[in-house]
Chains A and B, each alone.
Chain A
């Protein structure tokens, strides 16, 4: 940990997650592309759908924390200092943003799949 090399980070994550690293990367890229497509189709964000996605996103944040606790064999009283709370915030934030985008995109694609025309963003 003396020298922090981005390539080392990649190698370590690759060793940690195996093929799942690429699945997650594809999910992230695919999700963003689909999100962009839904946005383009709708001409912007649809408020009602966004609010619903944000509510799901909040749960996603907690799900990310639960997953992290499970993977690291941790409990809910282990945070010991500011950097721990920062890490918890970052993990929760990643879960929130990721889940919100995916939920928004899924709803958009669901609507298209069921033959609804692109919504008009207000």
Chain B
């Protein structure tokens, strides 16, 4: 991943702006000192996005403040458990395994507006929905997630997923299931299996690797590995942003006979000829495929990209990721705005695990602001990836902003070992932990 730009902590000017914004919005900054018990406030808090991050923020906030008007804005009625998409695309779980409803996680007292945010106006302290409804706020939490930009790949359309060897695990539950059907057919026939990742920030950068390993395993189980060639097209010169993990994956790919094409960024697909085109340092290169797991470029949603909330310079400016302090998730220029989850322009982690550790920090700082105090909690970039290396085994990779491995069970569960216990955690414990997070219980 890209290196981190310099991100100062909250300075005096920012604090003054925060105080100003709060005063203009009529927020009783020192309504009640934060400490035991919820903070009493009349603040209007808008949460843009009702995915994992938005719901977790809503749940946590509703426990820590009283009297506030909390509004979640999200058009999608369904909630997707995205860490389960890989299991669906591996034929291990049905599409229904990852689908529930947003409404069932909305805490009591929190309002859900089932609309898309069309405009962010941080100068005017309001968001505007697609129907033109203006929602003024004293504090805004942006948790809109990201946009899968399939249109950026010439010839690609989500309607192609599940046909003629084209899969794409990320596009949704049905797409994940359709991807499984195509991959399973490929595991029966063999040919060239093509895997890749985009040259942008992306959610769960381990997922493309996992799916390569899973496909390899299915080919072996069906006795067709010799009939197949697996190619992984890496967007740069590494396989994972954490060097020690990248090296481990390189060794595993070598062991499994997966060929790696470095510096290959997919630009086009020709479904008729079954050829994918890549941008490489030596010019365009074509790779024929019999099965391909297309992963599109990922960007901040359009409304965020068109707003003043994104980075104005540096590696995250082009795709509109939010300019937030990587330690507090507070916006660098609008101190009453926070960005959590995929949309945050921070060096690591667009995963549910990131959300789990970002949300308490962002909420802590928000609640402290409501109480007229300053929070000290810090998000160190922790994220985790149960990197499946075959059906039944995974590596529990946990790391932080500095590419340190941060194992939860040092000496017991080795982070770079392919273990059944990690697979057990992935299949049994992860979804309940995730749901508990949405409910603000974990």
| Closest chain A residue to B429, Cβ basis | A12
A73 touches B413 (CB 8 A): no
Interface size class of B (residues with CB under 8 A): 20 to 34
Asked whether B384 is an interface residue with its Cβ less than 8 Å from the other chain, the reply is yes
> Is B436 in contact with A1, judged by CB distance below 8 angstroms?
no
Assess whether B428 is interfacial by the CB under 8 Å rule. yes
Is B412's CB under 8 angstroms from A83's CB?
yes
Residue pair B436, A72 in contact (C-beta under 8 Å): no
Q: Which of A11, A16, A73 has the most CB of B within 10 A?
A: A73
Whether A13 contacts B408 by the Cβ 8 Å rule is no
Q: A2-B408, A78-B393 are in contact. Are A71 and B428 (CB under 8 A)?
A: yes
C-alpha gap A80/B393 in the complex (Å): 7
Q: Which chain B residues numbered 77 to 104 have a C-beta less than 8 Å away from chain A?
A: 92
B435 with A15: CB separation less than 8 A: yes
Of the 9-residue stretches B125-133, B166-174, B245-253, B418-426, which lies at the interface with chain A? B418-426
Q: A83-B421, A87-B421 are in contact. Are A77 and B435 (CB under 8 A)?
A: no
State which residues 133-158 of B face A: CB under 8 Å.
none
Closest Cβ–Cβ distance, residue A76 to chain B (whole Å): 9
Within 8 A of A (CB), among B392-442: 392-393, 398, 406, 408-409, 412-414, 417-421, 423-424, 427-429, 431-433, 435-436, 441-442
Whether B391 is near chain A, meaning CB under 8 Å from some CB there, is yes
Chain A CB within 8 A of B338 CB: no
Which of B418, B424, B432 makes the CB contact (< 8 A) with A12? B432
- Using A11-B441, A72-B424 as known contacts, say yes or no to A80 and B417 having CB atoms under 8 A apart: yes
Most B CB within 10 A of own CB, among A12, A13, A16, A68: A12
Closest B residue by C-beta to A73:
B92
- Interface check B357, CB cutoff 8 A: yes
A81 with B417: CB separation less than 8 A: yes
Q: A74-B392, A80-B393 are in contact. Are A12 and B433 (CB under 8 A)?
A: yes
Q: Is A121 an interface residue (CB 8 A)?
A: no
Chain A interface (Cβ within 8 Å of chain B)?
1-2, 4, 8, 11-16, 68, 71-75, 77-81, 83-84, 87
